[in-house]
């Protein structure tokens, strides 16, 4: 059967794929993977290859973006082709573009979902999902060509209506460079220094989350100046700026994320 | 080891659990499941029981909410206890409350993530994740005690700044009642009738998504009056109201969700 199946690998290691995902790979004619849209710290494709008893071909950003997935799509025109991707497929726009391209060429597409960094990080924070506003990615300065003020504006906009903000942090997986929580906070503090709107200051309650999906994720809520000193270990790192806290959210931050006890007093 | 492990079952059937999830269950002393926070249309716990060769005890909303998970927590004080939950754990506030309770009692907790309806539905729509504002659930009228205007307000607020809105639809899984896209739209049209702000009208571009996580999810973008006639099949159903469309998002709605071609003209 000629089709392209996007399969989510989940968050941390090669066992975060679903049982359905493994079964789909076993019946594929050709298996590709891309590992540049998100970090998967403990992934071993070799272990998946052993389970499925076939070779996995890794495609680069160049293959999938600059060359519009030519190799992948040619394969899907010949037989069942799967693309393994970190997290949940289609959250990365690269995958959506490939899917549009495939369907336009008459190739049927399907998705096997995996755990997503967005849902995982929101869940680990203990904050209520429906109180998150727009999310944003903090880019590396050299990627943006200066300091992007967009993340600061998004946090400000969400806070003005009491909403939380999830900040994902830039990655350049092919160079093994992952922005840390400390680096992300410093970018935001530079914008604060310039704008002086008191949106993100050393006294701002901030949640840092690292290694979501591993057996020992690090989740720490603290005032920003203290959080800058905290050792979060390896990637991926994310930051949440809470808006107005419900009392149960404050309790979650204190009990599950080690926030200072006085955070309880700010809730309602 | 005394601990409570929340394990996400994913979206559709018993094979949406991750390989890590299966391994964790196999080493548990006691296995519970709750099935009331989200629908999982094709889930067979019996098939999981065959794989893990042990009994799974199902806990009700009464067990976990009214009685604060007493049975579950007593078990976790004695040995490794897992709670299987639909979707990704901790997106439902019920799970966060249980986690706080457990940690307060000195019981260690962990999470094995699963595919989340939120991430899945956003991905299937082809819309860009970072352009979604606050999400909202449309409640059954009798649950709310009248018509809730909150969902309408959330869509209005997001649209005013160009953002998309994900509307989850109420479920009463224990009564096997799941709000349909048509029912959800009718609630919103009643508010429109009252408020006349022209936020949600028969001409509003709307995306309906059903059966996310199955092999044949239904994703349809249409003007609201047409969408009301569309047959989405079984649950879960969700609705997305797009804000301002990027040209690639419009292309995704046309190619992947069968939107009318003229939607392309509204993009930029």
Q: Are residues A55 and A80 located together in one domain of the fold?
A: yes
Q: How high does pLDDT run on average in chain A? A: 96
Q: What is the pLDDT of residue A41?
A: 85
Q: Which residues from chain A sit within 8 angstroms of residue B162, using beta carbons?
A: none
B195 pLDDT more than 90: yes
Domain count for chain B: 2
Q: Are residues A170 and A239 located together in one domain of the fold?
A: yes
A145 pLDDT more than 90: no
pLDDT cut 70: percent of chain B above it:
100
B154 pLDDT more than 90: yes
Strand partners, A109: A4
Q: What is the pLDDT of residue A146?
A: 87
Q: Which ipTM did the prediction report?
A: 0.96
Query: What is the per-residue pLDDT across B67-87, written as a single tens digit (0 to 9) for each?
Result: 999 999 999 999 999 999 999
A123 pLDDT more than 80: yes
User: How far is A251 from A70, CA to CA, in rounded Å?
Assistant: 51
Q: What is the pLDDT of residue A212?
A: 97
User: How far is B110 from B94, CA to CA, in rounded Å?
Assistant: 15
Q: A264 and chain B: CB distance < 8 Å anywhere?
A: no
Q: Are residues B54 and B165 located together in one domain of the fold?
A: no
Q: Region B52-59: what's the mean pLDDT?
A: 94
B268 pLDDT more than 90: no
Q: A118 and chain B: CB distance < 8 Å anywhere?
A: yes
Q: Which residues from chain A sit within 8 angstroms of residue B97, using beta carbons?
A: 248
Q: B228 and chain A: CB distance < 8 Å anywhere?
A: no
A55 pLDDT more than 80: yes
Tell me if B115 and A88 make a contact (CB, 8 A cut-off): yes
Q: What is the pLDDT of residue A173?
A: 84
Q: B110 and chain A: CB distance < 8 Å anywhere?
A: yes
Banded model confidence at residue B144, pLDDT cuts 50, 70, 90: confident
Q: What is the pLDDT of residue B93?
A: 94
Segments in chain A forming alpha helices (H)? 19-26, 45-52, 61, 70-78, 93-104, 117-125, 141-144, 150-160, 181-195, 224-227, 247-257
Q: Are residues B137 and B243 located together in one domain of the fold?
A: yes
Please name the residue of chain B whose CA is at the shortest distance from the CA of residue A166: B130
Among the candidates B112, B131, B164, a domain finishes at B112
User: How far is B36 from A192, CA to CA, in rounded Å?
Assistant: 44
pLDDT cut 70: percent of chain A above it:
100
Q: Are residues B30 and B89 located together in one domain of the fold?
A: yes
pTM: 0.96
Q: Are residues A93 and A177 located together in one domain of the fold?
A: no
Best B90, B108, B110, B148 member to test A by mutation, with max A CBs in 10 Å, is B90
Q: Give the domain range for residue A63.
A: 3-112
Q: What is the pLDDT of residue B143?
A: 76
Please name the residue of chain A whose CA is at the shortest distance from the CA of residue B19: A15
Banded model confidence at residue A144, pLDDT cuts 50, 70, 90: confident
Candidates A16, A88, A118; nearest CB to B20: A16
Long-range contacts of B138-143 (CB under 8 A, 24+ apart): B138/B167, B138/B168, B138/B169, B138/B170, B138/B179, B138/B184, B138/B187, B138/B188, B138/B239, B139/B170, B140/B170, B140/B172, B140/B177, B140/B179, B141/B187, B143/B170, B143/B172
Backbone angles phi, psi at B17, to 5 degrees: -70, 150
Q: What is the pLDDT of residue B265?
A: 93
A19 pLDDT more than 90: yes
Among the candidates A112, A133, A163, a domain finishes at A112
Tell me if A100 and B255 make a contact (CB, 8 A cut-off): yes
Q: How high does pLDDT run on average in chain B? A: 96
Q: Are residues A147 and A251 located together in one domain of the fold?
A: yes
Q: Are residues A54 and A165 located together in one domain of the fold?
A: no
A58 pLDDT more than 90: yes
Candidates A19, A97, A135; nearest CB to B17: A19
| Cβ-based contacts under 8 A for chains A and B | 173
Shortest CA distance to A58 belongs to which of A112, A9, A109? Answer: A9
Q: Are residues B122 and B107 located together in one domain of the fold?
A: no
For the domain that residue A74 is a member of, what is the CATH number? 3.40.1010.10
Q: A256 and chain B: CB distance < 8 Å anywhere?
A: yes
Q: What is the pLDDT of residue B173?
A: 84
Tell me if B88 and A120 make a contact (CB, 8 A cut-off): yes
Q: What is the pLDDT of residue B236?
A: 94
DSSP state of A265: G
Q: Are residues A149 and A45 located together in one domain of the fold?
A: no
Phi-psi region of A72 (alpha: psi -120 to 50; beta: other; left: phi over 0): alpha
Q: What is the pLDDT of residue B146?
A: 87
Candidates B19, B20, B133; nearest CB to A133: B133
Helix (H) or strand (E) holding A137: strand A136-138
Q: Region A209-232: what's the mean pLDDT?
A: 97
For the domain that residue B191 is a member of, what is the CATH number? 3.30.950.10
Q: B160 and chain A: CB distance < 8 Å anywhere?
A: no
Banded model confidence at residue A176, pLDDT cuts 50, 70, 90: confident
Q: Are residues A156 and A173 located together in one domain of the fold?
A: yes
Among the candidates B112, B140, B173, a domain finishes at B112
Q: Which residues from chain B sit within 8 angstroms of residue A11, using beta carbons?
A: 113
Q: Are residues B101 and B134 located together in one domain of the fold?
A: no
Nearest Cα of chain B lies from the Cα of A263 at a distance, in angstroms, of 16
Q: What is the pLDDT of residue B218?
A: 98
Helix (H) or strand (E) holding A172: strand A171-172
Tell me if A96 and B252 make a contact (CB, 8 A cut-off): yes
Query: What DSSP assignment string belongs to A61-118?
Result: HIIIIITTTHHHHHHHHHSEEEEEESBSTTSSHHHHHHHHHHHHTT-EEEEE----HH
Best A26, A115, A132, A258 member to test B by mutation, with max B CBs in 10 Å, is A115
User: How far is A50 from B179, CA to CA, in rounded Å?
Assistant: 44
Q: What is the pLDDT of residue B142?
A: 82
Q: What is the pLDDT of residue A87?
A: 97
Q: Region B85-91: what's the mean pLDDT?
A: 97
Q: Which of A9-13, A143-147, B245-249 has the lowest mean pLDDT?
A: A143-147
Q: What is the pLDDT of residue A143?
A: 76
Q: What is the pLDDT of residue A222?
A: 98
Query: What DSSP assignment string belongs to chain B?
Result: --EEEEEE-BSSBTT-SBHHHHHHHHT-SEEEEE-SSS--TB--HHHHHHHHTS--EEE-HIIIIITTTHHHHHHHHHSEEEEEESBSTTSSHHHHHHHHHHHHTT-EEEEE----HHHHHHHHHT--GGGB---EEE--HHHHTS---HHHHHHHHHHHTT-BEEEEE-EEGGGTEE--HHHHHHHHHHHHHHH--SSS-TT-EEEEEESTTSSS-EEEEEEHHHHTT----SSPEEEEE--SPPHHHHHHHHHHH---GGGGGG--
């Amino acid at each position: 059967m000629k089709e392209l199946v996007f399969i989510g690998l989940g968050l941390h290691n090669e066992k975060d794929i679903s049982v359905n995902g493994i079964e789909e790979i076993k019946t594929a004619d050709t298996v590709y993977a891309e590992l540049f849209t998100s970090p998967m710290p403990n992934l071993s494709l070799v272990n998946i290859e052993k389970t499925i008893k076939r070779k996995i071909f890794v495609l680069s950003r160049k293959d999938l973006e600059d060359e519009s997935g030519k190799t992948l799509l040619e394969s899907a025109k010949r037989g069942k082709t799967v693309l393994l991707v970190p997290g949940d497929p289609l959250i990365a726009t690269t995958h959506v573009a490939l899917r549009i391209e495939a369907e336009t060429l008459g190739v049927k597409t399907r998705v096997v979902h995996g755990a997503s960094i967005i849902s995982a990080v929101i869940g680990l924070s203990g904050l209520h999902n429906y109180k998150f506003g727009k999310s944003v990615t903090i880019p590396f300065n050299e990627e943006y060509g200066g300091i992007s003020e967009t993340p600061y504006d998004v946090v400000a906009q969400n806070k003005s209506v009491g909403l939380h903000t999830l900040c994902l942090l830039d990655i350049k997986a092919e160079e093994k460079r992952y922005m840390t929580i400390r680096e992300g906070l410093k970018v935001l503090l530079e914008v604060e220094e310039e704008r002086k709107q008191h949106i993100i200051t050393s006294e701002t309650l901030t949640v840092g989350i690292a290694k979501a999906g591993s057996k020992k994720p690090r989740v720490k809520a603290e005032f920003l100046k203290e959080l800058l000193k905290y050792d979060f270990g390896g990637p991926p790192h994310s930051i949440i700026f809470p808006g107005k806290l419900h009392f149960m959210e404050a309790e979650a931050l204190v009990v599950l994320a080690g926030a200072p006890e006085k955070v309880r007093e700010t809730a309602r």
